[in-house]
Amino acid sequence: MPAGRAFDPRAAVAPRAAGPRLPRRALHGVLLLDKPIGWSSNDALQKVKGLLRAEKGGHTGTLDPLATGLLPLCFGAATKFSQASLDADKTYRATLKLGITRAGGDLEGEVLATRPVAFDEARLRAACAALTGAIEQLPPMHSALKHEGRALYDYARAGVDVERAPRQVTVHRLDILHRQHDELEIEVVVSKGTYIRTLAEDLGEQLGCGAHLIALRRTACGPVGLGDAISIEALTALEPAAREARLLPPDVLLGAWPALHLAAGEAGRFLSGLRRRVAERDCEAVRVYGPEPRAFLGSAHVKAGELIPGRLLSPPEVQALIGSAATNESKQASTP
């Protein structure tokens, strides 16, 4: 997108055809979307929600309009587990423009300073090492972080600077993928709450030349990755049944957690919110299933031999998800 040009989501969404609006449906699952550039996370959610005719949906954390890539969208019962995706580590590929510092840390901001790009590989390695591990970041003004009920980017657009406190985040990995003279492509794995535009600016300062972000793509969010995502264009081109078949079960968001299976009687008691005695070690987070392999029941944690319920599905939601999985498996088996 050209610098300084505002995005109008109305221009990116095809106009609705004339005629009666189709009724919304109770759908349960996770759609992994490859969000296009220029769309806000909510623009993408509303478009997909309309395509699926879903009653209830939400996204799992804001991905900036200038960023592309993985945006997990939760529908129905899956919204109960969106926090797991919000809390998960994220993987990004970012391209930095070296030698130029811009307001807001990306290519839309005005140029604040220009400096020569002159550093060697040793300094680059040292700069990456300095920004790996637990670090402190000052949240950027161009962010969705709230101050007195308003997003910081609202203040930034009005020319008001708000005092912010540094926050500790973790950069698990920072790798250099490609370097030209004034561009640097990196891949990072970071904890929740990490601002990549701020990381780009900090890396530029470590290198002594300044930098800003010119491209950002999210490739993974916890246990789910971009390889299983679909674009809005591809989703739009599918038939309604094929769109619905793209929904993954809610437990895909908890794929990195240990699984625990309960017998039928114990599963029913667990779903009612009762604690159960289990021969398991303490664990902060587990995903719980009934005797049917697809019968995901919800989340819990184990403490002192007790399974303590967290977010639970309702019995109708469990049955709906079992039925949906069986239908999709049947369709796949019948496809030549």
Rounded to an integer, the average pLDDT of 117-146 is 88
CATH of the domain at 35: 3.30.2350.10
Model confidence at 179, in pLDDT bands (50, 70, 90)? very high
In sequence order, what DSSP letters do the residues of 101-127 get, joined into one string? EEGGGBTTSPEEEE------HHHHHHH
In a domain, 1, yes or no: no
In a domain, 46, yes or no: yes
In a domain, 277, yes or no: yes
Would you state the torsion angle of the CA atoms of residues 322, 325, 328, 329, taken in this order, to the nearest 10 degrees? -100
Residue ranges of E strands in the chain: 29-35, 57-59, 67-75, 90-98, 100-102, 111-114, 133-137, 146-147, 150-151, 167-179, 183-190, 211-221, 224-225, 230-231, 259-261, 276-277, 283-289, 296-303, 306-312
Q: Does residue 144 register a pLDDT over 80?
A: no
Q: Which of 34, 43, 64, 106 is catalytic?
A: 64
Mean pLDDT score of the chain, rounded to an integer?
88
In a domain, 301, yes or no: yes
pLDDT at 328: 67
How many distinct structural domains can be found in the chain?
3
Q: Does residue 252 register a pLDDT over 60?
A: yes
Same domain, 113 and 135: yes
Q: Give the three-state DSSP class for 145.
A: coil
pLDDT at 255: 93
Same domain, 99 and 217: yes
Same domain, 138 and 81: no
Whether the model clears a pTM of 0.75, i.e. scores above it, the answer is yes
CATH of the domain at 279: 2.30.130.10
Same domain, 191 and 171: yes
Which of the listed residues 245, 280, 314 is the one where a domain comes to its end?
A: 245
Same domain, 153 and 201: yes
Distance, CA of 72 to CA of 220 (rounded, Å): 10
Same domain, 233 and 322: no
Same domain, 202 and 95: yes
In a domain, 4, yes or no: no
In a domain, 18, yes or no: no
Q: Does residue 332 register a pLDDT over 60?
A: no
Same domain, 231 and 217: no
Model confidence at 164, in pLDDT bands (50, 70, 90)? confident
Q: What is the pLDDT of residues 181-215, one digit of tens each?
A: 899 999 999 999 999 999 999 999 999 999 999 99
Model confidence at 14, in pLDDT bands (50, 70, 90)? very low
Rounded to an integer, the average pLDDT of 100-107 is 91
Task: Compute the Cα dihedral for 130, 136, 139, 145 and give only its sign.
Answer: positive
Distance, CA of 272 to CA of 4 (rounded, Å): 54
In a domain, 74, yes or no: yes
Q: Does residue 152 register a pLDDT over 70?
A: no
The share of the chain scoring above pLDDT 70, in percent, equals 86
Same domain, 99 and 195: yes
Q: Does residue 12 register a pLDDT over 60?
A: no
Query: For this structure, is 64 an active site residue?
Result: yes
Same domain, 187 and 153: yes
74 is in which domain, residue-wise? 9-13+25-87+224-245
